[in-house]
Amino acid sequence: MWHMLPTLAPFVYQFRDVFTAPSFQTHQLLVLGLIMCLGRRTLFRIFRSASPSGLHDFSGPHGFDAEYNFFERSAWTPSDLFKRLALFIFTNLPLAGGIRLIVDDTLLHKRGVHVWGMGWFRDAVASTKTRVATASGHNWVVLAVAYEIPVGGLIMALPVMARLHQSGEEFPSCAQLARDMVQELMQQYPNRQFLLLGDGEYSN
């Protein structure tokens, strides 16, 4: 398997308490697989890329039960992971004054009748001023911190939270999910001031 870079290890180890010991080992493996995966980053291709063992034998079982169980049956929760990520950003970056938050939703293309939470949503990339394109997939509402790099004036959006928006009136809207995430972040950091930036969909 690949070895963790010494410069990357301190960041990855920040999240060690979120996982059990076996899950953290799998987490490190998936981080390396995500970095080393070339092309489309599907879960199966990331699992394959996590080990430089050569060609995969497709004639038998895939051998990635532990990796798939990491998402389906492990004890860690995305909420705890996001809280630790926000803590890392707020304590390691010079975010003085009001913190600018950016909220938007993004479509992750998915297909297949067995994909949970999938729906048909507006595809902002394929849409034009005169035509609205739709596509199937997962619609994620992402809350990010806008951080301006001191050298060059480049602004980076650093995600600190995300919620899956499902189609149907019985599920919360994108704006409601955004409100819940902002309220959760404000409760976690009551002494911080936030400025929320978003398009017209989130003005309500």
Angle at CA 145, nearest 5°, toward 140 and 150? 140
Q: Given this model, what pLDDT does residue 1 score?
A: 67
pLDDT per position as a tens digit, 154-183:
889 999 999 999 988 899 999 999 999 999
pLDDT at 46 over 80: yes
* Phi, psi of 140, deg, nearest 5: -100, 130
**Strands 119-122 and 134-148, how do they pair?**
antiparallel
Measured between alpha carbons, how far is 84 from 126 in angstroms, rounded to an integer? 34
Q: What is the dihedral of CA 78, 83, 89, 94, to 10 degrees?
A: 160
Q: Given this model, what pLDDT does residue 18 score?
A: 92
Distances (CA, A) of 76 to 17, 82, 124: 10, 11, 32
* Phi, psi of 142, deg, nearest 5: -115, 130
Q: Given this model, what pLDDT does residue 158 score?
A: 92
pLDDT at 71 over 90: no
Measured between alpha carbons, how far is 170 from 160 in angstroms, rounded to an integer? 26
Q: What is the DSSP letter of 24?
A: H
pLDDT at 87 over 80: yes
In 3D, which of 157, 160, 143 has the Cα closest to residue 105? 143
Q: What integer best gives the mean pLDDT of the chain? A: 86
pLDDT at 153 over 80: no
Q: Given this model, what pLDDT does residue 164 score?
A: 92
